[in-house]
C-alpha cells in the first residue's frame, strides 16, 4: 500500500484540560468523538453533528471551535479545553458562576458549548461588550429552552464587571 | 454522521505538501469547515486528507507595497482582527468578520473558502470587488491568476491537479466600503450579498459566481444617486430560481442591498 493511501490510525499528542494526552485516532474520528468516546469527557455534547448548533464547542488553543467539525488529528500539538477543564477545583470559572447566578441554564444541553463560546469571546475582547456584541458572538450556539435572555445577561455581567482569568492553555 | 473511512497525512511543510499533492490521491484539508461537513454528509469522498491547516508558512498577511499578500491558511478570524488589513483593506477584513459564526471563523481559511467556491462565499465576493488574484503553486512552478478567472462556477475553480492555493494578492483599497448580506437565518449562506469598495460593486446570488455590476459602477462614475445606480444592480444577469429564492426575488434583493450599501458609503440617496 502506498504511504499516501494509508488509512492507519494517526498518533497524536495534545493537551486536554492542561494534561498531556497521547492517542492513536482513526483519521475520521472527530475531536468530539475523541473527547467523548476515547477520553470519557462527555460534557462536550453533540447536538446537530452538522456544524450548526454549537453544543460541541470546545476551546482549541484558547479559541472556540465546533468539535464535531474538527478531526482529532487536527488537534495534534495543540491544547484543548472542555467544560470539565474550566473550573479551578471547586471554584467555578466566572462564566460558569454567572450562568448559575443569572439562571442561564434550563435543560443544560447547550450550556457547555455556550459557556466555552463565552469564554472564547471574553478572551478575545478585553474591553466592555454591548448586548449586540454578545449576541453576535453566540450566534453559532443554539438554545432551545432559555430564550437567550439570561445567557446574554450572564455573559454581559462577566464582561463588564469582573476580571476574567485566562484559561489554562498549555501543558504546564 | 460518520464519514466513509479516509487516510490522513499531516504535511511537513509547503514543499512536502506540493510533493504529495503531485503524487495524487490526496484531498487538501485546511480548516475543514466545508470539507468535513461534506465528508460527514457523504456528499464528498476522499481517499486521503492532506492537512495543511497548521502550516504557519502559509499563514501571514504581508504588505508588499503595491499589494497585500495573504497566505492561504490565514483564518477568517485573523483576517477580521488584522490591524494591517483593517487599515489597508478594510472591506476584506469586514467581509471575513461576517462569515458564519466565531467558531467557524476560528478554523476556516481564505484558501479553503476560495477553493470551495460556494456561490455565496463572502471572501470571493469581496475579492471580486477588489480585483484580487490567486497564487497557485505546484511542484514545478507557480502561476498567478485573477480571482475572476479562478472561480468558474458553483464549486468549480481553475485549480489543476497537483496545484495548491498558497496566497491571495490584493491591492490596498482604503476607500469607503460596505458588505451586505441577506440570509434566512443566522448561519445560512447569503441568498444575495453585495460588496462595495471604492465604487467597485460585486454581487452574489445572481449567478453561480459573484459578478461585478458594471451598470452600477458606471452610474456612480457619472454621479448618479444611490437609488438610480442601484436600479441597475441586476442588469444583464439571469438569476436562477431554486428552492431558496426565485429569480425576481433575487433581482429585488440585489437592488435593495445595493442601494443600502451605496447609502452606507456616502452616496446621496
Ligand atoms: C454552517 C456554516 C456556515 C457557513 N457560512 C458561510 C458564510 O456565510 N460565508 C462564507 O463565506 N463561508 C461560510 N461557510 C464556509 C466557511 O467559510 C469555510 O471556512 C470555507 O468555505 C472553507 O474553508 P476551510 O479552510 O474550512 O476549507 P476546507 O473545508 O478545509 O476545504 C474546502 C475545500 O477547499 C480545498 N482546499 C482548502 N485549502 C486549499 C488550498 N490552499 N489550495 C487548494 N485547495 C484547498 C479542500 O480540498 C476542499 O475541497 C460556512 C460554513 C459552515 C459549516
Ligand atoms: S454538534 Fe457540533 S455544531 Fe452541533
Ligand atoms: S438550556 Fe436547554 S438548550 Fe439551552
Nearest to B159, CA basis, from B112, B204, B126: B112
Distance separating alpha carbons of residues B74 and B79, to the nearest angstrom: 7
Q: Give the pTM.
A: 0.96
Classified as helix, coil or strand, A83 is helix
Q: pLDDT per residue over B235-253, tens digit each? A: 999 999 999 999 999 999 9
Q: pLDDT per residue over A44-73, tens digit each? A: 999 999 999 999 999 999 999 999 999 999
Classified as helix, coil or strand, A22 is strand
What distance in angstroms lies between residue A55's CA and the mean position of ligand 3's atoms? 9
Report yes or no: A81 at the B interface, CB cutoff 8 Å: no
Report yes or no: A37 at the B interface, CB cutoff 8 Å: no
Grid coordinates representing B190 are 447569503
Asked if residue A106 has its Cβ within 6 Å of ligand 3, the reply is yes
Are B48 and A117 within 8 A, CB to CB? no
Report yes or no: A63 at the B interface, CB cutoff 8 Å: yes
Averaged over A21-47, what is the pLDDT? 98
Query: Which atom of ligand 3 has the smallest separation from the CA of A108?
Result: 1
Asked if residue B104 has its Cβ within 6 Å of ligand 1, the reply is yes
Are B39 and A57 within 8 A, CB to CB? no
Helix B122-129, helix B90-97: angle, nearest 10: 160
- Going by pLDDT thresholds of 50, 70 and 90, the confidence category of residue B19 is very high
- To which residue does cell 428552492 refer? B243
Contacts of B20 in chain A (CB under 8 A): 4
Residue boundaries of the structural domains of chain A: 10-85, 94-159
Query: What is the fold of A10-85?
Result: Ubiquitin-like (UB roll) (3.10.20)
Q: Which of B4, B26, B186 sits opposite A139 (nearest CB)?
A: B186
- Is the confidence at residue A6, as pLDDT, over 70? no
- Going by pLDDT thresholds of 50, 70 and 90, the confidence category of residue B8 is very high
- Is the confidence at residue A167, as pLDDT, over 90? no
What distance in angstroms lies between residue A96's CA and the mean position of ligand 3's atoms? 15
Q: How far is A46 from chain B (nearest CA, A)?
A: 11
Averaged over B156-164, what is the pLDDT? 98
Q: pLDDT per residue over B180-206, tens digit each? A: 999 988 778 999 999 999 999 999 999
Which 8-state DSSP code applies to residue A49?
Answer: S
Nearest to A25, CA basis, from A37, A15, A17, A42: A37
What distance in angstroms lies between residue A76's CA and the mean position of ligand 3's atoms? 31
- Count of pairs with CB atoms under 8 A, one residue in A, one in B: 111
CA angle A168, A50, B250 (to 5 degrees): 120
Averaged over B123-130, what is the pLDDT? 98
Pocket test for ligand 3, best of A102, A109, A141 (most atoms within 8 A of CB): A109
Distance separating alpha carbons of residues A168 and A20, to the nearest angstrom: 13
- Residue B188: its pLDDT value, please? 82
Domain A94-159 has CATH 1.10.150.120: yes
Q: pLDDT per residue over B31-83, tens digit each? A: 999 999 999 999 999 999 999 999 999 999 999 999 999 999 999 999 999 99
Cβ pair A75, A12 in contact under 8 A: yes
Amino acid at each position: 500500500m502506498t504511504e499516501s493511501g494509508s488509512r492507519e490510525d494517526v498518533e497524536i499528542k495534545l493537551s486536554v484540560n492542561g494534561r498531556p494526552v497521547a492517542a492513536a485516532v482513526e483519521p475520521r474520528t472527530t475531536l468530539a468523538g475523541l473527547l467523548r468516546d476515547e477520553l470519557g469527557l462527555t460534557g462536550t455534547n453533540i447536538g446537530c453533528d452538522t456544524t450548526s448548533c454549537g453544543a460541541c464547542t470546545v476551546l482549541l488553543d484558547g479559541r472556540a471551535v465546533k468539535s464535531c467539525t474538527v478531526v482529532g488529528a487536527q488537534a495534534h500539538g495543540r491544547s484543548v479545553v472542555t467544560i470539565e477543564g474550566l473550573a479551578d477545583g471547586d471554584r467555578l470559572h466566572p462564566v460558569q458562576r454567572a450562568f448559575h447566578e443569572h439562571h442561564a441554564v434550563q435543560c443544560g444541553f447547550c450550556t457547555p458549548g455556550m459557556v466555552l463560546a463565552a469564554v472564547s469571546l471574553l478572551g478575545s475582547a478585553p474591553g466592555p461588550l454591548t448586548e449586540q456584541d454578545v449576541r453576535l458572538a453566540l450566534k453559532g450556539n443554539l438554545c432551545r429552552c432559555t430564550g437567550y435572555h439570561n445567557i446574554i445577561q450572564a455573559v454581559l455581567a462577566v464582561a463588564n464587571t469582573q476580571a476574567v482569568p485566562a484559561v489554562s492553555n498549555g501543558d504546564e | 454522521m460518520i464519514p466513509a473511512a479516509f487516510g490522513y497525512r499531516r504535511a511537513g511543510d509547503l514543499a512536502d505538501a506540493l510533493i504529495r499533492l503531485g503524487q495524487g490521491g490526496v484531498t487538501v484539508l485546511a480548516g475543514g469547515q466545508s470539507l468535513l461537513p461534506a465528508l460527514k454528509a457523504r456528499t464528498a469522498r476522499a481517499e486521503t486528507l492532506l492537512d495543511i491547516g497548521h502550516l504557519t508558512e502559509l499563514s501571514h498577511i504581508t504588505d508588499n507595497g503595491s499589494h497585500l499578500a495573504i497566505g492561504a491558511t490565514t483564518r477568517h478570524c485573523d483576517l477580521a482582527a488584522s490591524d494591517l488589513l483593517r487599515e489597508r483593506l478594510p472591506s476584506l477584513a469586514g467581509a471575513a468578520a461576517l462569515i458564519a459564526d466565531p467558531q467557524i471563523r476560528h478554523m476556516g481559511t481564505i484558501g479553503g473558502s476560495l477553493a470551495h467556491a460556494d456561490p455565496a462565499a463572502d471572501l470571493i465576493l469581496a475579492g471580486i470587488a477588489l480585483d484580487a488574484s490567486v497564487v497557485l503553486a505546484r511542484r514545478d512552478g507557480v502561476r498567478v491568476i485573477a480571482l475572476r478567472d479562478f472561480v468558474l462556477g458553483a464549486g468549480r475553480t481553475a485549480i489543476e491537479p497537483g496545484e495548491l492555493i498558497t496566497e491571495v494578492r490584493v491591492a490596498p483599497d482604503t476607500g469607503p466600503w460596505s458588505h451586505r448580506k441577506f440570509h434566512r437565518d443566522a448561519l445560512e449562506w447569503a441568498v444575495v450579498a453585495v460588496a462595495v469598495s471604492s465604487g467597485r460593486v460585486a454581487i452574489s446570488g445572481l449567478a453561480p459566481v459573484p459578478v461585478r455590476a458594471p451598470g452600477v459602477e458606471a452610474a456612480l462614475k457619472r454621479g448618479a444617486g444611490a437609488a438610480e445606480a442601484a436600479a441597475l444592480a441586476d442588469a444583464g444577469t439571469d438569476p436562477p430560481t431554486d428552492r431558496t429564492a426565485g429569480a425576481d426575488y433575487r433581482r429585488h434583493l440585489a437592488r435593495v442591498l445595493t442601494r443600502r450599501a451605496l447609502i452606507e458609503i456616502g452616496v446621496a440617496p
